Amino acid sequence: MRERLTVAFVVLTIVLLLGAGVVRSFVLRDLIQEQEADHLRQEIQLVSTIVEDREAAGGAIDERFLTTLVGPERRLEYAPRGGRPIVVHGPDYTGTDDAGDDLSATLQLDEGRLMLSQSPDVIGDILGRDTGSIAALFLLIAVVAGVVGFLISSALSSPFQRLAVAAAALGRGRFDLELPRSRIPEARAIANALRASAQQLEDRVQRERDFAEHASHVLRTPLTGMRLELEDLTLRDDVPADVQDSARRSLAAVEEVGAVASELVEMTRRGSLVAGSELPLVDLATQLAQRWADRLGVRNRTLTAAAEGDLTLTYTPGPVEQVTDLLLADVVRRGAGPVRIVFHGEEGGHLRIHVGCEGRGKATGAEPLDRVAEVVSVVSALGGRVTGEHPADGIEVLLPRR
């Protein structure tokens, strides 16, 4: 987006300059034509004075004399009364020798008529003298326009690029979106829509967890009581045999209903947050380890990572990324030395994340942010649990398969 905006800015600047240059060239052409016409009128006045003085002195007005009066780019024609016109040219005259096609000025004398003209190509020559300077100016303006366009396009595209990153994070099931603050109405509208979508998705996860817990309690508690009552009936000696048989059949049906309830609750807990966004455990662990290895490398700290257990399990990357980022940010702030993180895929589909480091970092005064508390809040909302308080002692997170 930034490159396209820069190119568009440069192209627009050049097009506007070309349009202004074309209009300016027509205006300059008219101005130069008027100036050249004034020069011709002034020059023919001077020539007429010289010719009249020579006529008054009795001198001959011939081609040799007129040649001394014509300029290098001029054509001079003298038409005496009743005589043949005399035409002389300057050495640089490039016209068609037709006064109708040239720029000309005519003056009527007592003994004849004078006409001084020059080729209209002189105007083009004057306009073309600064072609190199104009090209250099256009090139300089294009460079300046490119720099300015790059800066403006960067300022315009930056919030949209950050919005694209936030949208991708939301597509991976991550709720803690880093949304830009922008004065661009469109960017603000998109940011508000993403923020609302993240909030709705987080609320949905919370409702599903509450539903699973409520359903587990509401369904299993009465079923357990009913099962115990039926088992008691099957064990009593004072109950007829047919009643005991009915109790056993009812007990089997209760067991089936309990199994179905457990399966429904488990399906609710295992459902994907964002369909189609799941990644295999080995790929997810590799991506997270590589990203944090680069960040810790800047601080001269090493990171080792391992993926264990069932590596074919798939997980929604957003929650795992969010929890891992919070844990490793806490390691950077409170820990010291090499860091190790282990991702373990449990048989039941749960994901166990263990983060630890060699030592404790130096205290830097008040700690304004408790990352572990954030981890506990996020993990609890997802239906998991956290054990451990300091990375030097090891912190372990258990997440459901979502």
Q: What is the pLDDT of residue 274?
A: 58
Residues 320, 265 share a domain: no
- CA distance linking residue 96 with residue 103, whole number of Å: 11
| Any domain includes 148 | no
Residues 247, 326 share a domain: no
Provide the 10 A C-beta neighbour count for residue 316.
Answer: 24
Nearest to 395 by CA among 349, 318, 335, 321: 335
Distance, first Cα to last Cα, the chain: 34
| Any domain includes 7 | yes
Q: Which two tokens stand for residue 250?
A: 């009812």
Q: Which helix (H) or strand (E) holds 353?
A: strand 351-360
3-state SS class at 343: strand
HSE-up (13 A, CA, CB side) for residue 252: 5
DSSP string, 264-332: HHHHHHHS-SSTT--EEHHHHHHHHHHHHHHHHHHTT--EEEEEEE-TT-EE-HHHHHHHHHHHHHHHH
Domain endpoint, select from 270, 296, 311: 270
Residues 332, 249 share a domain: no
Domain endpoint, select from 229, 247, 270: 270
Q: Point out the least confidently predicted range of 51-65, 92-106, 261-275, 355-369.
A: 261-275
**Average predicted confidence (pLDDT) for the chain:** 78
15: domain CATH number is 3.30.450.250
Q: What is the pLDDT of residues 116-148, one digit of tens each?
A: 888 777 666 665 666 677 777 778 877 887 888
Residues 257, 364 share a domain: no
Domain endpoint, select from 249, 270, 291: 270
The total domain count for the chain is: 3
Cβ atoms 345, 309 nearer than 8 A: yes
Residues 192, 105 share a domain: no
Residues 90, 41 share a domain: yes
| Any domain includes 159 | no
Q: What is the pLDDT of residues 23-39, one digit of tens each?
A: 777 776 777 777 777 88
pLDDT greater than 80 at residue 235:
no
Domain span holding position 96: 2-126
pLDDT greater than 50 at residue 238:
yes
| Any domain includes 236 | yes
- CA distance linking residue 362 with residue 359, whole number of Å: 10
Q: What is the pLDDT of residue 368?
A: 47
| Any domain includes 391 | yes
pLDDT greater than 80 at residue 80:
yes
| Any domain includes 103 | yes
Per cent of the chain over pLDDT 70 is: 86
Q: What is the pLDDT of residue 366?
A: 47
| Any domain includes 178 | no
